[in-house]
Amino acid sequence: MKTLFTTILIICAQILFAQTASVDSLFEQFVKDIETEQAYHEGVVKMDDETRESYYLLMINSPVEALIKYTDHANAAVRCLIFSGLVNKNADDETLKEIVEKHQIDTAVFKPWKVGEYMKITLEYRTSDRIDYEKRLSTLRQYPHVLIPGLRHGRISRDDLLCADSLKYSHVFY
């Protein structure tokens, strides 16, 4: 009986750790995509397909409580987009107001606004509708695109391109 209880306890601990690690890895991929976008577009985030996909996956798989800590990230774009995700996931008003208050004097710039202004406006003009990130992800994945291993954000390393043996479309009928 002791062995069974210990085994169940170990399995539960591994499951709980894996869930947190999954959210963290999705967040890290999203941050890499944002930083890549900013590097390619002089600091502006244009949200290409890869960045949108990583954002949608993060929003789908992350509970609100796990996203709150990411509103303090060093990158202003990440802070703002995570806050928008919290608003669109209908996080409770008290939590959102606390985040806005904490960033009220945040003067980093995202798009034409400062972070504090962006968060305040996002909260002020939110609607009660939730964004269906799963539907958006499904729609995004329906667009046909070329599949080349190593291609990311429209760029590929020379070595990856030389290793590619063929070009494939994401949809068979093309």
pLDDT at residue 141, as a whole number = 86
CB 160 within 8 A of CB 148: yes
pLDDT at residue 127, as a whole number = 80
Query: Do residue 95 and residue 173 come from a single domain?
Result: no
How many domains in the chain?
Answer: 2
Measured CA angle at 134 (ends 133, 136), to 5 deg: 60
Boundaries of domain holding 64: 12-143
Q: State the virtual CA torsion across 135, 48, 159, 146 in degrees, nearest 10.
A: 50
| Residue 146, H or E segment | strand 146-147
pLDDT at residue 129, as a whole number = 79
Burial of 9 (0-12, 13-18, 19+ CB in 10 A): exposed
CB 151 within 8 A of CB 111: no
Query: Do residue 88 and residue 154 come from a single domain?
Result: no
What gap in Å lies between CA 23 and CA 67, rounded to an integer? Answer: 9
Instruction: Compute the half-sphere exposure of residue 109: CA atoms within 13 Å on the CB side of its CA.
Output: 5
Query: Do residue 65 and residue 78 come from a single domain?
Result: yes
Structure tokens at 15: 């499951």
What gap in Å lies between CA 38 and CA 111, rounded to an integer? Answer: 12
Structure tokens at 171: 């949809």
What gap in Å lies between CA 19 and CA 14, rounded to an integer? Answer: 9
pLDDT at residue 9, as a whole number = 60
Reference 45, options 55, 35, 32, 57; nearest CA is 35
pLDDT at residue 94, as a whole number = 94
Query: Do residue 113 and residue 152 come from a single domain?
Result: no
What gap in Å lies between CA 118 and CA 109, rounded to an integer? Answer: 9
Query: Do residue 155 and residue 112 come from a single domain?
Result: no
pLDDT at residue 18, as a whole number = 45
In a domain, 153, yes or no: yes
- Mean pLDDT, the chain cut into blocks of 10 residues (174 residues total): 63 53 86 93 90 95 94 96 94 93 92 91 86 92 77 77 69 53
In a domain, 41, yes or no: yes
Query: Please, what's the largest Cα pairwise distance for the chain?
Result: 62
